[in-house]
Structure formats: structure tokens, C-alpha cells
Structure 1
């Protein structure tokens, strides 16, 4: 399985930086509370100086949503929606230890983080413009069709695993109690996204290793390295293989849980 952003998406948003991580052996019976509290506390500290709407990370996503023809105050990116909820309600919902961790790290960095059940994804997963015939399963069990041109996470079976890019994750691949293998996706568009996404990815790797086991694979994706090959079998971190360089010099590595 490969995860990547399509060439048209990359062309439209050349500043996009993404981090991906594969975690295995995920279970719901761990205590993530102290770590969730620590990251949420970081977000509260930042919010005390001003609302999330003024954060450069959020402003970059608002510009992207406007460029997609989506009203950014009607459909907020995942990180903004979580930060807004934290500011108004004072806390975030508890859903699953991994989801709670991803949400807490997301608000700490003001960067969208999504966790998807790998066993619920068919074939390659591509962030691309929708054709309009994809199926999106809501958390209520209804089926929607994304608007043509809308940016979605689409798999080989024609399922949309997220709508409006980082706005709404599908109920189909959301992390649940029986989830064992997870693909975590982190995406930034702001000017310091390269450093921030790298730092966030390192943070998640550390936290997942403490609570479960070291991630099976991870990678930072940019225009020069746009794809990530998900290992079919979990490998110890020192044995994660990387595919040969892609044409053009790049290499291929390959919520509402998580924050979608």
C-alpha cells in the first residue's frame, strides 16, 4: 500500500509538508491521560495569548480552504476545530487512547493529525481531488458523495476516508477498540511546516513507543519525496526498508477520531 498526495494537490499547495507514521499492536487498554493532559496544557497556554484564528498554522489552512472554494469559518480544518473546542469547552472528548493522544498533540502544535485504521483501507490511499463518485461514510452511518474537485483521502475501492482535506474523517476507517494497525498522517502548510511537522512526528514516535511499541515505519513527505510505502508486515524500526529513489530524484517512503 502506498500513501501519497497527488501531483495536482502538490502543485496547488507547493508548501505542503506531511509526516506519516505506521503503528502496530495498538490497543485501547493503556493510560494516555497524563500525556494527553501535558499536550493539552501546552495548547491552553498558547490560547491564553489569543484565539486559534490568529495562529499562523491555522491561517495557512484557512487560505488553503478558501483556495479550494470552501468557506473556512464554516468548514474548519481539524486542528482549528479542536482548538476552538478546547477554548470554548475547556477540554477535548476522550475517544480512544491513540485518538486522544493524536488530538492532544494536534492542538499543542496547531497542526492537523489524523489516525486511520489500516485494515479498513483498500489498496493505495491518495490525497486527491474527488471525482464525485466516491463514497464517504458518516459517523451516523449515512453515505455521502464528495463534491467533484473537493480534496479527499481516497482509496482504491473508491472510498473517501476524509472530506474537505482535513475537515471530516470517515467513520469507515476511524480508530476503534478493535483497531490494531494505524496510519497516522500529519500535514502542515505554514512557513515553518518543515521543522514543525518533523518535530511533531518525532513527538508522536516517542509517545507511541512509550504507550505501545516503537512505530513500524515513518517518513517526512515533501514535493521531492511525495510517497510512502506502507510495510505489509510490521518490521522492527532498524529494519524499515526504503524503496529506490522515485523518478526525478525523490525517494518513496511511503475524529471523528484523531482530528479529522
Structure 2
């Protein structure tokens, strides 16, 4: 199996910086509260310094420009990081879901970068970020099925299943992490000027937490246009 973005996306978004991490041995009983608190505190400190408006962050502005380029209204369809930041600003915390999701959500808050976590047991073949043909199947968290619009950017596997719609906007319930999840692919994507350094730092933070709390040995890489593929 491998993960990659399509050549068309690299052409249209030359500042794209994807970070990818693969790990086995995930369980639902890890205690990550300390890391979640530290990462959340980092986000809170940035909010206090910058006035708390996520729309002013360069990381979020870059995704808004990308969504506008794709024909999406940035205030109607927000990248996952912006949605998390809005909820965090309003509520002061995020609900606990699963230790790995809680950790990655906190990392997304701290860096203002979208982070997706996929259960590899629920993915068939390779996973590619590409434009949809329109016949792919997307499963919502409630279990209903949808078809992406033709041309929409999706995460698609070889079975024609869409594991995320509108790029970093909406992940599928089909491959979401659940209690029995053991093997995952974690993907962080940045488009802003400092993305090369910040995506690499984010991946290091998550990898360190995986080693500390799950005693696993993750494999991680930051992809580029010249090296666009991550082999599992």
C-alpha cells in the first residue's frame, strides 16, 4: 500500500506540504491527557496573543484560499483545523473521543494544521488524494452514503471509497478510528509559508507521543513534489 497526492494537486498547489505517519499497535487505553493539555495550552496561548480569531492565522488563510480556488465558500466549508479551533475558542476544550484522536486533535489545535487519522483495516489498496469522478462512495458518521461531486478533492482508495470529502473538510465514518483500531495512517497537510518546518514539527510531536504512550515504532515522512509517495 502507498499514499500520495495526484500530480494535478501538486501542480495546482505547489506549496502543499503533506506529513504522513504509519503506526501499528494502537489501543484505546493510552493515557494522553498530559500531552493533550500541553498542546491545548499552546493553542490557547496563541489565541490570547493573536486575539483568538482563527481566520487570521496564516495556516487557516492558506486553506481558505485553497478552498476558494476549488470553488468552495471558505466560510461554509472549513478545513478540519479551523473547525476545531472555532469549537475550542467557544468551548475552551474538545470532547474526548479516543486517545489517538484526542492527541491528534490537540496537535491540530496547537499547529493550526489539519490532521486526519485513518484506520488502515478499513482502507482497500492504495490511498490517494485526487479529484473525484463522482461515482465514489462516501459513508457519513451516521452510516448513510453519499457520492462526492465530480472534481471534488477526496481521499480515495482502490475500491472507489472516499475516506474524506472536500479535501480536509470532512472525514468519513467508514475509516474513522474506533476502539478496535490497531493500525493507522496519520496525515497532516499545510499550505502556508512555514508549512515545511511546522508540518515536520507536528509529525515529530505525534511520533514522540506514540512512542511514549503506545510503545510503538512509527514511520513518518514529509512528502514533496519530487518525492510524493509514502510506501507502507
Q: Which residue of 2 aligns with 1:39?
A: 39
Q: 1:42-81 maps to which residues of 2 (within 5 A)?
A: 42-48=42-48, 49-50=50-51, 51-81=53-83
Contact 1:16 1:187 in 2 (8 A): yes
Q: Which residue of 1 aligns with 2:23?
A: 23
Which secondary structure state, in structure 1, belongs to the residue aligned with residue 155 of structure 2?
strand
- Structure 1 or 2: larger helix share? 2
In structure 1, the gaps of 5 or more residues are 231-260
Which secondary structure state, in structure 2, belongs to the residue aligned with residue 73 of structure 1?
coil
Q: 1:89-168 maps to which residues of 2 (within 5 A)?
A: 89-168=91-170
Contact 1:205 1:214 in 2 (8 A): no
Runs of 4+ with deviation above 6 angstroms: none
TM-score (norm 1): 0.87
Q: How far does residue 82 in structure 1 lie from its aligned partner after superposition?
A: 0.2
Distance in 2 between residues matched to 1:32 and 1:148, nearest whole Å: 40
Distance in 1 between residues matched to 2:39 and 2:98, nearest whole Å: 16
Distance in 2 between residues matched to 1:39 and 1:52, nearest whole Å: 16
Which secondary structure state, in structure 1, belongs to the residue aligned with residue 130 of structure 2?
strand
What is the CA deviation profile of residues 54-99 of structure 1, one whole-angstrom value per residue up to 9, with x for unaligned ones? 0000000000000000111111000000000000111111100000
The 1:93–1:124 alpha-carbon spacing in structure 2 relative to 1, beyond 3 Å, is same
Q: 1:172-191 maps to which residues of 2 (within 5 A)?
A: 172-191=174-193
Contact 1:219 1:228 in 2 (8 A): yes
Distance in 1 between residues matched to 2:94 and 2:160, nearest whole Å: 32
In structure 2, the gaps of 5 or more residues are none
Q: How far does residue 217 in structure 1 lie from its aligned partner after superposition?
A: 1.5
The 1:72–1:215 alpha-carbon spacing in structure 2 relative to 1, beyond 3 Å, is farther
Q: 2:205 aligns with which of 188, 203, 209?
A: 203
Which secondary structure state, in structure 2, belongs to the residue aligned with residue 92 of structure 1?
coil
Distance in 1 between residues matched to 2:219 and 2:199, nearest whole Å: 16
Q: CA RMSD in A?
A: 0.7
**Residue correspondences, number:** 230
Q: 1:241-252 maps to which residues of 2 (within 5 A)?
A: none
What is the CA deviation profile of residues 177-225 of structure 1, one whole-angstrom value per residue up to 9, with x for unaligned ones? 0000000001000001111111111111101110102333211101111
